[in-house]
Amino acid sequence: MLGIQHWIFSVKWGIWTRDNNLSNTSRDVNILIFGQTGQVARELAMYEGVTCVDRAAADLEDPGACAALIAARRPDAVINAAAYTAVDKAEEDEARATVINGDAPGAMARACADLGVPFVSISTDYVFSGTGTRAWQEADPTGPLGAYGRSKLKGEHLVQAAGGAYAILRTSWVVSAHGHNFVKTMLRLGAERDALTIVGDQIGGPTPARDIAAACMEIARQLADDPGKAGIYHFAGAPNVSWADFARETFAVAGLTCAVTDIPSSDYPTPAQRPLNSRLDCDRLETVFGLRRPDWRVGLQDIVKEVSV
């Protein structure tokens, strides 16, 4: 099985290498990435042979333009790392969120199916209702609590309907040294305050964006070799943890002496309801693609170091 934390994928189709030591039998490929400034897109941009496109090149509010770009570029694979991620704002902006998270991935998937190239699209645990305590499996009934989840679920349905060699990768609690995320917020607040109250009844798997990027690249590679692996998969960091405990670990790694008090979600109301249970069962991804859940504590160490530089 592949421990993706310690491997580098160099975009020579069909080989994993350590320290970019390439095989003579591999070939250069071109992978088109939708997204440029998001957390996962910024990690994907670190790979050789990828082309990241921003809104100026293909606006996700114009799904037809996204499909046209794929048809014109004729890449070897496409990864959709762009999305409308403002969960609370989506409650009053659902139509726009649905075009970006639903219609655009569907158009991309159809264009990839026409070309016969792999398509990987990132989805979310928010497609589930968040009830219970059992980790969600890919075949479990969906039931989004809000507009963001509904928009992502529409995207899943349209990608599936397009056929082709697709993979929908549901993930959760994305963190990195880039953009806006929980770890960066905690590092800022932990340096400013002596104590914080943080939600303790939402449980999930924090997932470093760097690990998501590596997983997307490997999935695209394997789909090119075996389109029969198409489907929905889960990928989240381990072990599962509450937001409050995640904050405690962040402060410990950063050497911050900020006390954390657990509070229920009801004490921190937001426009969009958050799922209490964001646990994702990732066994299927390991069985089919050989990708294990990354240890988010390892990724957290790297993120804290990068942010502190």
Catalytic residues: 148
CA 76 to chain centre: 21
Integer Cα distance of 213 and 39 in angstroms: 9
Integer Cα distance of 126 and 229 in angstroms: 24
Task: State the SS3 of 249-308.
Answer: HHHHHHCCCCEEEEECHHHCCCCCCCCCEECECCHHHHHHHCECCCEHHHHHHHHHHHHH
Task: Give the helix/strand (H/E) hosting 145.
Answer: none
**Residues contacting residue 282 through CB under 8 Å, at least 6 positions apart:** 233, 234, 235, 236, 238, 292, 293
**Closest CA relative to residue 152, chosen from 209, 220, 104:** 104
**Residues contacting residue 309 through CB under 8 Å, at least 6 positions apart:** none
Q: Let me know: does 22 contact 15? Beta carbons within 8 Å.
A: yes
